[in-house]
Structure 1
Amino acid sequence: MKKYLIIGNGVAGTTAAQEIRKHDTQGQITMVSQENLPFYSRIKLPDFVAGLSDTDGLVIRKAQWYKDQQIDLKTGTEIVEIDHPAKSARDNNGNLYPYDSLLIASGSVSFIPPVEGSDKGNVFALRSYEDARQLEGAATSARNAVVIGGGLLGLEAAHALIKKGLQVVVVEFFDRLLPRQMDNNGALLLKKMLEAQGFEFRLDAKTRQVTGEDRVTGVELESGEVLPADLVLFSTGVRSNLALPGKLDLETDRGVIVNARMETGMDGVWAAGDVAQFDGMNFCIWPEAQEQGRVAGANMAGAHEEFQAIVPSNRLKVAGIDLGSAGEIDPNDELEKDLEQSDTLYRKLVKKDGRVIGCIMLGDTSGFNEVVKTISGK
């Protein structure tokens, strides 16, 4: 009986486990995660902070699913050492996990820029369920919050804090919101729509320091303005979690270098999801992690699958506003485009040589999946 060890229970690790079971009905699958919950939705963490979802509402795969798939899930457990020549891993409690095939799907961690005072009390990031619990607790007694980062998670977290009754200012380094998903005109419309919901923004702004003694009292910008705050949330992106791969001496860049089969340079070791880098790319987005997990799991079980780089895309609601973005967004309007725009709508198809290569949809995302397929050439 083949033994599979998967480190991480996010979308990549969970999809890999499911795929292994499809190809190998008898193999022993063990998943180890530092998280205290089974596979859950990080996208819904702001809903938890806002009180719109409880813990059970976050969980995607309940305990019964793991039993049905004959997967041994170890939560609240950290792998601290891997002896690959012996094909064995050790956790923080001294337990050993023998394996034949190993998948590293340890995901990513929040990136906190080196801002003075970022280590003060009531300064948070939002990446895990535990982060959400702490943020929700602090928000209960807070009045003023500053969210540093105007990306997708930053805006959703700011919306959650506004729903809890806080005055919220979002500070964004770039001169527009969602710089990876929106062009200038679309971002301007989104800003107006969010301001109507109580958002306040400082764009093209850089944080100088977090002020206060032991606990935060404000955020000082490079402009000299000091924003009052008894709660600060950094939403400034994520980085691959390379703590464990570093101990294995795997080749890394922004992530663990993998080939199209999700194999690392070490025989019998795969990597997938936010921790992996393929063909120089590491988007750290759900669709990429899911497909990489599928390919890795199939190949670990003896199949011959290859990962095809996907078109980066996002489709979700930002503060209740439908948003979709994929491919080339042409932020400076240099390419051919089809445009539909109103006070509550912005739909842009970006074209090159008559072919659709990207899109932005704000306020109405109907047809988004079909457009993404067109962009992908499917």
Structure 2
Amino acid sequence: EVVVVGAEPYPYYQRPRLWELLSTDLAPEELYFRSLEWYAQRGIQVQVGRKVSEILPSSHQLKLAGGATLTYDRLLLATGGRAFVPPFAGVDKDGVFVLRSLADAVAIREYARRVSSALVIGGGLLGLETAQALLTGGLEVTVLEFAPHLMPRQLDPEGGRVLQARLEALGLRILTGVATEAILGDERAAGVRLQDGQEVAGELVLLSTGIRSRVELARQAGLEVNRGVVVNAELCTSDPDIYAVGDVAEFDSVVYGIIPAALEQARIAAQNMVAAGSATYSGTTMSTSLKIVDVELICLGEALAGGPEFELIRHSDVEAGIYRRLALHESKLVGAILLGDTGGARTLKRLIVSGRDLTAYKEQLQDQSFELETLST
């Protein structure tokens, strides 16, 4: 018997596609991964709009808001993460949003239709996708990034410079190395004030400043919690009957925060919930992808690996919007950045996973025209 309980009034939907709602007439239901009927036909009970208020490990029960209880033999925590809201003055004004849920996306779309300009605070993956969606919707959009360059968790400074040039060519205004101090306006947002005193106008403010794991239920239940809910190689928490996966789970001191890791963890946790010890998780090779109009970016493995122990192979062409960075350790590929030309990404990911020695190919790798797929043989 499988019961799924979620506080949101929708079945599971494709969260990475939320930004698509902002500039289209896409119906929210079109993001559903499966309909409620699909689950019911397979004997899966999906209870939407039901919030769990407490986990009672000693009695193997969940207490729901409103007082009802559910009993479990094995429990999986897939509570994900929440958008981090910095303590700026004015974050409670109308017109200030985060994009984390279907309800958020619908609210942003409705508000965006009544304004002409937007500010996106945060130049990471989600911030840039959201900024482009708002631009496509007809707004003037400015991106404000605290770091010296865009996507600092995935790109080095040169890669960030190439990406910024490409996105500015599409019409985005981008300010890097700036820190927001306050959101301006009376009851409604009208812009932001930066720490250097500069003011930037914008009628809609989107905060894209990171995610924090939803660990409150786990902590209250007495489970081991760090940044996420700590799990072992079986994806089991400190309670032998409670498992955790996805953005809430921390394995080997890492909260992956990417879909491929969540899917891999879910498969392994499910096996172990049915037959304890039947599958183990050893981590997921990091992969991040961005596609905005014709701008494509893929980051793999230790994309920012650097230091004397690493050999770096770079190629940069700002005018063409192309950047490639390969990081090798002891002649084995450990990380890659492909911007503009993402051909060979699958081959590179396989090389990272396999740890194949590339000594014989180092000279060819220096040549940007070298077909990376050649390495798959």
In the alignment, which residue of structure 2 is the partner of 1:375? 352
Partner of 1:244: 217
1:307 aligns with 2:274: no
1:331 Cα deviation from its structure 2 partner: 6.9
Cα deviation, residue 65, structure 1? 2.9
The one-letter amino acid paired with 1:35 is E
Q: CA deviation at 1:320?
A: 4.0
Matched, 1:349 2:326: yes
Q: Does the alignment pair 1:93 with 2:66?
A: yes
Quickly say closer, same or farther: Cα 1:332–1:44, change in 2 above 3 A.
same
1:224-254 deviation per Cα after TM superposition (whole angstroms, max 9, x unaligned): 1101121100000100001211221111010
RMSD: 1.7
The AA in structure 2 aligned to 1:238 is I
Structure 2 equivalent of residue 202 of structure 1: 175
Structure 1 segments, 4+ long, off by >4 Å, are 331-334
Q: State the Cα distance separating 1:317 from its structure 2 match.
A: 1.0
The Cα offsets for residues 30-76 of structure 1, whole Å up to 9 and x where unpaired, read as 00011222121111111111116332321122234312431100111
Alignment-derived partner of residue 114 in structure 1 = 87
Which residue of structure 2 lines up, in the alignment, with residue 71 of structure 1? Answer: 44
Change (3 A) 1:333 1:171: farther
Equivalent residues in 2 for 1:220-239 (5 A)? 220-239=193-212
Paired residue for 2:297, among 318, 323, 330?
Answer: 323
Of residues 251, 263, 272, the one that matches 1:278 is 251
Q: Secondary structure at the match of 1:232?
A: strand
Query: Which residue identity lines up with residue 310 of structure 1 in the other structure?
Result: T
Report the Cα offset of residue 155 of structure 1.
Answer: 0.3
Match of 1:213 in 2: 186
Match of 1:12 in 2: none
- Deviation of 1:319 after TM superposition, in Å, equals 4.4
Q: 1:366 aligns with which of 343, 365, 368?
A: 343
The equivalent of 2:314 in structure 1 is 339
Does the 8 A contact of 1:323 with 1:363 survive in 2? Answer: yes
**What residue in structure 1 maps to residue 260 of structure 2?**
287
Q: TM-score, normalised by structure 2?
A: 0.89
Moved more, 159-168 or 54-63: 54-63
Separation of aligned partners in 2, 1:161 and 1:213: 23
The answer on whether the counterparts of 2:305 and 2:335 sit within 8 Å (CA) in structure 1 is: no
Match of 1:163 among 136, 145, 151: 136
| Structure 2 partner of 1:140 | 113
Q: CA deviation at 1:338?
A: 3.2
Gaps of 5+ in 2: 356-377
Q: CA offset at residue 318 of structure 1?
A: 3.2
Alignment partners' CA distance in 2, 1:236 and 1:316 = 17
Alignment-derived partner of residue 18 in structure 1:
none
Determine what percentage of the aligned residue pairs are the same residue.
Answer: 36
Structure 1 residue matching 2:16: 3-state secondary structure: helix
Classify the secondary structure of the residue corresponding to 1:317.
strand
Q: Aligned to 2:296, what secondary structure does the other structure show?
A: strand
Q: Is the 8 A contact 2:7 2:51 kept in 1?
A: yes
User: Residues of 1 paired with 2:213 and 2:175: CA distance?
Assistant: 28
Tell me if the contact between 1:34 and 1:78 (Cα under 8 Å) persists in the aligned partners. yes
Q: 1:175 and 1:309 mapped to 2: Cα distance?
A: 30
Q: How many residues align?
A: 351
Structure 1 residue ranges without an equivalent (≥5): 1-27
- How far did residue 261 of structure 1 move? 0.7
**TM-score (norm: length of structure 1):** 0.89
Tell me what 1:15 maps to. Answer: none
Q: Secondary structure at the match of 1:36?
A: coil
Distance 1:332 1:112, change over 3 A: same
The Cα of 1:332 is off from its aligned counterpart by: 6.4
Shift of 1:351: 1.3
* Counterpart mapping for 1:247-262 below 5 A: 247-262=220-235
